[in-house]
Chain A
Amino acid sequence: MKLAKYLKPYLFFAIISPILMIGEVMADLSLPKLMSYIVDFGIAEGGLEEIVDSGMPYEIMTALFGSDFTQMNVIITFGVMMLLIVLVGGFFGTMCAYTAAKASQGFGHDLRCDAYRRVMSLSIEQTDKFTTGSLVTRMTNDIAMLIELVEMILRMCVRSPMFLIGGTVMLLSLNLKFGVVLLCSLPLLLATLILVLSKSIPLFSTVQKKLDRVNSVVQENVSGARVVKAYVREDYETNRFSTANGELKDINLRVLRLMAIIHPVLNILQNLAIIAIILIGGIDIKNGIAGMSVGSVMAGITYVTQVIMSIMMVTMMFNSISRAIASGKRINEIMDSDPTVKSGLSDGSSDDIAVSFENVSFRYPGTAGEDVLHDINLNIKRGETLAIIGSTGCGKTSLVSLVPRFYDPSAGKVKVGGIDVKDYKLSVLRNKISYVMQKSELFSDTVANNIRWGKEDATLEEIKDAVETAQAKDFVENLPNGYDDYIAEKGASLSGGQKQRLSIARGVIRKPEILIFDDATSALDLVTEAKLRKALHEKMKDTTVIMIAQRIASVKEADRIAVIEDGTIKHCAPHEELMRISETYRDIYDSQMKNGGDISE
């Protein structure tokens, strides 16, 4: 897989880890031997006579005690050896875990950062397509899954096969007939495991769907509590939830019932194998076949257990691998998506910053049907204020999104300073522009730092100045900690108007050449809005302003007002002229000013 390259910097750890595991496995394999020495020579009657023929244990004892030693000596010697080997094995095991963690976590960290860098380079349309929730789970759950897989492979890729192969070889070396036991039990075990897993894995996605359903009912009820209560539908909702909850329970039970088969099957196969080994051993001993002894039957039992357990482990490993592969695919989807909005090369000219749209048409990428914008032609001069008005969904936001290249037009050209925006370096282009949205996006940080988002190195003076321009000075200075007040939960404690003014301050502080307000003053009252317009006019004379608004009062003073309807510009002229020529504009005017305007005029 492509993602394997992230393991490269940690290759040393990745290689050494399985090697260390060999140490642990050796220790694990030698323990039963030492235990049997203690039992056979230290405790059993006549053990001291037995040990003479045993080879290595005898040599160890004579080396330590000469030829004269007691059974107690045997117990203590091999006991201490056992403990030492456990310690050594534990050391190897821990070191293996350390190196495996070092490699897998390093792998994960690098992959995570790279994937995130890729996410941050994606175009808006791509993040829209992925959706926030899915990107968050990819960045966390899926990568965690891959980290676990790497770690498991490093730690298990040696252990299980060693037990499996080692166990099989040892078993066969004891008695070839024991192989029959394996030949009978392993296919049965494998068949069961494959059957259970192949049936249960597809169910997992259904479980997820049912869980989502339960979540969405809760979500709807928590956020729609007022409506539920107002229409006295608590019982109805409780029933609805109970149905969803019951379906979740049923599908969970189905999965668990399938999984419940594994344990008893394993238990019965393992123990039947043990019985078979004893039986075969017994028959062979009875028939006086050489080399069969109590010890070899005992050893056979140990090895057959080991083999069956390691088969179990390997299958479970395949289960995790298949899940990790799904995760890997989801990560690769991110890694493989090249940003559709690509940076150009031009640094642009700095003085002429007129914005022009030439025969621009636009439709959201990946959607069929009609264009959102159709054949737009518009020239905005340097320092001009252009307002855009039109009903919800007519394409106002789409139009201004094309300037900072959140999206690219499907036909035609958008130019800034006479240069196609596609030819600009993205950073150069976007540095010229401040884009303030209706739905203010504030970050969990202090007020000052949220404003610094517009200009990293802004001094407190500059921040205060921007806040004053944005008409936010009064309320910011009244916050408990003023500029250092912490904005939590995306600004849940601030009113809509306060949030909007903070994001305006953020846009103003960088002294942009082009300032775009996407309905960014909708929550301000008209007096405040008028003050803001005045302050902007004084401080940012040369800035080209494009503002979308709903209220006639907000747009009335703009140099020109573009009236958009069904994705085309119907008219573009100053207020007075529009009142004469545009029926739509007059409609909007009437809907807001009917019987009202005359009083203060």
Chain B
Amino acid sequence: MGRPGGQGPGRGGGGPMNARINREKPKNLKRTIGRLFRYIGKSSAILVALLGIMICVTVIDLLGPFFQQKAIDTFKIVGDKTIVDFESLTVYLVIMAIIFVISSVLFYAQGLLSAKLSQSTVFIMRNDLFRKISRLPISYTDNHRHGDIMSRMTNDVENVSNAVSSSITMLFSSIMTLCGAFAMMIYYSWQITLIAILTIPITILVSTNLAKFMRKYFIRQQKLLGKLNGEVEEMVTSYKTVVAYGKEEKAVNNFASESEALRKNSISARVWGSVMGPVMNFLGNFQYVLIAASGGFMMLKGLGITIGAIQAMLQYSKKFTHPINQIANQYSAILTALAAAERIFEIMDSENEVDEGKTEFDAENMKGEIVFKDVDFSYVEGKPVLKKLNLKVEPGQKIAIVGATGSGKTTIVNLLTRFYEINSGTITVDGVDIKDIPKDVLRKFIGIVLQDTVLFCDTIRTNIKYGNDNATEEDIKKATKTSNADRFIERLPEGYDTELTEAGSNLSQGQRQLLAISRAVLADPKILILDEATSSVDTRTEMHIQQAMVNLMKNRTSLIIAHRLSTIRDADVIVVLSGGVIVESGNHEELLALGGEYSKLYSNQFAGIAT
């Protein structure tokens, strides 16, 4: 079991909803944006193509009204009769048709490319993040809530994906349209443009403030939703306790009051959200009136402006307000995405596991001698777990480590496999400092069987082959024979091809343990560690596994951590850990005769029958 001697901070539990609440403002905006764009830039060909298409689309979008106006202008009123210049009308209509066919094709290409861009960006990002997670030291997964890591992998990456696929393209085309419309307006009349853009600061001010106000409610809504989620999850997972103590009514009442808070807040959020539209609408129309009035005024004063120009400007002013509106709408989505990106980069920035080992180590012909010399270690500074620990294990020896919870038994395993780094002292294998051995070599000659068996949702065969990918069918059969797992596997309807569901929940605890042992047998390590490997099976099942264990330990240096007498009695040496140091060592009989720590532990833990 992965608890570092009971010293590590709590972890586990905590569904993704905990993380979703954290929609705070990103802290280092500029850097995050830069890094995000570097990711998007990895698909630079698509990005360039997309930008090109967006420029074309924007230009065409601006040309549309131009030709439509021209086409309508071919209808002329002469006297009280309307005449049509049919020849030029057909020309304009054909041009329009061509433009729209082209723009539709471009739209389609834009849709495909932006999908491709967002998906490949996210694909690369997820892969990088996963590779990073697998390179992180164990202390990271021990000290962070798994639900939180999971939610970064899914929710946060999803948020970034949405931003890339919709917000960024929308933002870009909004800005382009804005610039284009602005240019066209200046072309017609810079004076009126000047008056018209007076509304822009107001629009920006109003929309950002309104968005900020809305965000308050939306964040509250997320929080309340998260709380509600948590409430349901907690009560449903602990449903037996709820029922056993008749607390259904209490649970319902709690839920109702939280649901009520969510209801109230959601109404406010909706109402404020719906205010945005009319306000923007008002500002847009205000600009419209402003242009019409100032245009009319200029015409009246004879300041050289034509009716056509005013009409065109009115058209473009509509194009003008739409993008500002969209930018305001995207504001919160983009902030959310940036906060998400920051959380992703936070993992990416964590220190990798150190692996400075360079020494050639002949693992084939190693003897398997382990020496801990003056080892100091603490998980949390100032709270030493091991103090100047000295321990020597001879090649082929079976050594058992006992001690109360929190005495540092598991820590020894964590240090030998370099899941954690020692503070001072040395650990050597066959006289070579383990720091100098490359980690993959080191871990290949050490095999571990843990209390909590880790099985993957795959076939039994693949799960056993986890110990050695190159194993043949024969090797696997031999391994399961050694571990006594062959009988139960062959009795299963699909034998080795049986799919394990939900990490092996369709097997009994004992069967799972046998699979873990088979895996270790197949790996054929020189050094074997059994960390409470049988403590979650009942004693009779353990007796069946016992033989498998004995077979497994043959010809290997073995470290056994256990609290059951049956598991440790036969060890060559038993060491007793207490307060971070070894207080006693010797074999079972010697230690009992000594009448110290071990005999005390022994009577507490094992021989309680006499109390």
Among B82, B119, B135, B271, which residue has its beta carbon within 8 angstroms of that of A292?
B82
The segment from A197-205, A228-236, A360-368, A460-468 found at the interface with B is: A228-236
The segment from A115-123, A165-173, A372-380, A566-574 found at the interface with B is: A115-123
Determine whether B198 belongs to the interface, using a CB cutoff of 8 Å to chain A: no
The segment from A59-67, A75-83, A178-186, A472-480 found at the interface with B is: A75-83
Cβ contacts under 8 Å, B111 to chain A: 256-257, 259-261, 263-264
Chain A nearest CB, measured from B285 CB (Å):
5
Of chain A, the residue at the smallest CB distance from B295 is A43
Determine whether B179 belongs to the interface, using a CB cutoff of 8 Å to chain A: no
* Cβ A526 vs Cβ B239 within 8 A: no
Chain A nearest CB, measured from B56 CB (Å):
13
Of chain A, the residue at the smallest CB distance from B299 is A43
- Binary per-residue interface labels of chain A (554-597) against chain B in the complex, 1 for a CB within 8 Å, 0 otherwise: 00100000000000000000000000000000011001111111
* Cβ A38 vs Cβ B292 within 8 A: yes
Cβ contacts under 8 Å, A328 to chain B: none
Complex alpha-carbon distance, A86 and B456, angstroms: 61
Determine whether A4 belongs to the interface, using a CB cutoff of 8 Å to chain B: no
9 pairs, CB–CB < 8 Å, chain A vs chain B = A35-B288, A43-B310, A71-B300, A86-B285, A218-B154, A219-B150, A253-B115, A591-B539, A597-B607
Determine whether A68 belongs to the interface, using a CB cutoff of 8 Å to chain B: no
Chain B nearest CB, measured from A403 CB (Å):
10
Complex alpha-carbon distance, A1 and B72, angstroms: 51
Among A112, A216, A260, which residue has its beta carbon within 8 angstroms of that of B112?
A260
* Cβ A233 vs Cβ B232 within 8 A: no
Within B46-102, which residues are at the interface with A (CB < 8 Å)? 64, 68, 71-72, 74-75, 77, 81-84, 86, 89, 93, 96-97, 100-101
Complex alpha-carbon distance, A521 and B312, angstroms: 84
Chain B nearest CB, measured from A436 CB (Å):
9
Cβ contacts under 8 Å, B135 to chain A: 234
Given contacts A105-B263, A267-B100, contact A86 B10 (CB under 8 A): no
Given contacts A229-B138, A278-B93, contact A489 B252 (CB under 8 A): no
Complex alpha-carbon distance, A260 and B607, angstroms: 73
* Cβ A264 vs Cβ B154 within 8 A: no
Complex alpha-carbon distance, A59 and B515, angstroms: 92
Residue among A120, A139, A257, A527 having the largest count of chain B Cβ atoms under 10 Å: A120
Chain A nearest CB, measured from B404 CB (Å):
8
Determine whether B243 belongs to the interface, using a CB cutoff of 8 Å to chain A: yes
Cβ contacts under 8 Å, A593 to chain B: 607, 609
Determine whether A338 belongs to the interface, using a CB cutoff of 8 Å to chain B: no
* Cβ A223 vs Cβ B146 within 8 A: yes
Beyond A214-B154, A454-B245, 10 additional contacts (C-beta under 8 Å) are A93-B274, A102-B267, A113-B259, A211-B154, A220-B454, A226-B419, A275-B97, A285-B75, A285-B84, A292-B82
Complex alpha-carbon distance, A449 and B122, angstroms: 45
* Cβ A90 vs Cβ B122 within 8 A: no
* Cβ B508 vs Cβ A392 within 8 A: yes
* Cβ A587 vs Cβ B100 within 8 A: no
Among B131, B523, B541, which residue has its beta carbon within 8 angstroms of that of A231?
B523
Cβ contacts under 8 Å, B607 to chain A: 553, 593, 596-597, 599-600
Chain B nearest CB, measured from A196 CB (Å):
12
Cβ contacts under 8 Å, B240 to chain A: 124, 406, 435, 437, 441
Cβ contacts under 8 Å, A91 to chain B: 278
- Binary per-residue interface labels of chain A (248-260) against chain B in the complex, 1 for a CB within 8 Å, 0 otherwise: 0100110011011
Among A43, A222, A274, which residue has its beta carbon within 8 angstroms of that of B133?
A222
Determine whether A391 belongs to the interface, using a CB cutoff of 8 Å to chain B: yes
Determine whether A9 belongs to the interface, using a CB cutoff of 8 Å to chain B: no
Cβ contacts under 8 Å, A241 to chain B: 126-127, 130
Within B256-303, which residues are at the interface with A (CB < 8 Å)? 256, 259-260, 262-263, 266-267, 270-271, 273-275, 277-279, 281-282, 285-286, 288-289, 292-293, 295-297, 299-300
- Binary per-residue interface labels of chain A (516-552) against chain B in the complex, 1 for a CB within 8 Å, 0 otherwise: 0000000001110110000000000000000000111
Cβ contacts under 8 Å, A136 to chain B: 15, 229, 232-233, 236
**3 nearest interchain CB pairs?**
A90-B278, A526-B608, A260-B111
* Cβ A553 vs Cβ B115 within 8 A: no
Determine whether A358 belongs to the interface, using a CB cutoff of 8 Å to chain B: no
* Cβ B115 vs Cβ A256 within 8 A: yes
Residue among A45, A117, A124, A301 having the largest count of chain B Cβ atoms under 10 Å: A117
Determine whether B426 belongs to the interface, using a CB cutoff of 8 Å to chain A: no
Cβ contacts under 8 Å, B103 to chain A: 267
The segment from A345-353, A412-420, A491-499 found at the interface with B is: A491-499
Determine whether B176 belongs to the interface, using a CB cutoff of 8 Å to chain A: no
* Cβ B100 vs Cβ A82 within 8 A: no
* Cβ B278 vs Cβ A246 within 8 A: no
Determine whether A3 belongs to the interface, using a CB cutoff of 8 Å to chain B: no
Interface size on A, residues (CB 8 A): 160
Cβ contacts under 8 Å, B127 to chain A: 238, 241-242, 245
Determine whether B488 belongs to the interface, using a CB cutoff of 8 Å to chain A: no
Complex alpha-carbon distance, A124 and B243, angstroms: 9
Chain A nearest CB, measured from B602 CB (Å):
8
Determine whether A108 belongs to the interface, using a CB cutoff of 8 Å to chain B: yes
Among A275, A297, A503, A600, which residue has its beta carbon within 8 angstroms of that of B93?
A275
Complex alpha-carbon distance, A550 and B564, angstroms: 12
Given contacts A93-B277, A232-B443, A392-B538, contact A294 B307 (CB under 8 A): no
* Cβ A223 vs Cβ B108 within 8 A: no
- Binary per-residue interface labels of chain A (271-284) against chain B in the complex, 1 for a CB within 8 Å, 0 otherwise: 11011001101100
Complex alpha-carbon distance, A594 and B588, angstroms: 13
* Cβ B443 vs Cβ A97 within 8 A: no
Of chain A, the residue at the smallest CB distance from B275 is A94
* Cβ A249 vs Cβ B119 within 8 A: yes
Complex alpha-carbon distance, A252 and B251, angstroms: 39
The segment from A156-164, A308-316, A317-325, A425-433 found at the interface with B is: A425-433
Among B120, B256, B286, B569, which residue has its beta carbon within 8 angstroms of that of A113?
B256
* Cβ A453 vs Cβ B133 within 8 A: no
Interface size on B, residues (CB 8 A): 160
- Binary per-residue interface labels of chain A (82-105) against chain B in the complex, 1 for a CB within 8 Å, 0 otherwise: 110011011101101110111001
Among B150, B233, B267, which residue has its beta carbon within 8 angstroms of that of A105?
B267
* Cβ A120 vs Cβ B540 within 8 A: no
* Cβ A86 vs Cβ B267 within 8 A: no
Determine whether B543 belongs to the interface, using a CB cutoff of 8 Å to chain A: yes
Chain A nearest CB, measured from B49 CB (Å):
15
Determine whether B509 belongs to the interface, using a CB cutoff of 8 Å to chain A: yes
* Cβ A121 vs Cβ B310 within 8 A: no
Within B174-213, which residues are at the interface with A (CB < 8 Å)? none
Of chain A, the residue at the smallest CB distance from B289 is A79
Determine whether B478 belongs to the interface, using a CB cutoff of 8 Å to chain A: no
Determine whether B469 belongs to the interface, using a CB cutoff of 8 Å to chain A: yes
Determine whether B448 belongs to the interface, using a CB cutoff of 8 Å to chain A: yes
Cβ contacts under 8 Å, A259 to chain B: 111
* Cβ A226 vs Cβ B466 within 8 A: no
Chain A nearest CB, measured from B296 CB (Å):
5
* Cβ B13 vs Cβ A492 within 8 A: yes
Of chain B, the residue at the smallest CB distance from A24 is B278
Complex alpha-carbon distance, A556 and B473, angstroms: 47
Determine whether B596 belongs to the interface, using a CB cutoff of 8 Å to chain A: no
Determine whether A488 belongs to the interface, using a CB cutoff of 8 Å to chain B: yes
- Binary per-residue interface labels of chain B (535-571) against chain A in the complex, 1 for a CB within 8 Å, 0 otherwise: 0011111110000000000000000000011100100
Within B223-266, which residues are at the interface with A (CB < 8 Å)? 225, 228-230, 232-252, 255-256, 259-260, 262-263, 266
Cβ contacts under 8 Å, A506 to chain B: 245
Within A281-302, which residues are at the interface with B (CB < 8 Å)? 281-282, 285-286, 288, 292-294, 297-298, 301
Complex alpha-carbon distance, A220 and B462, angstroms: 14
Determine whether A11 belongs to the interface, using a CB cutoff of 8 Å to chain B: no
Chain A nearest CB, measured from B351 CB (Å):
15
* Cβ A392 vs Cβ B509 within 8 A: yes
Of chain A, the residue at the smallest CB distance from B229 is A140
Determine whether A482 belongs to the interface, using a CB cutoff of 8 Å to chain B: no
Complex alpha-carbon distance, A119 and B242, angstroms: 12
Of chain B, the residue at the smallest CB distance from A147 is B266
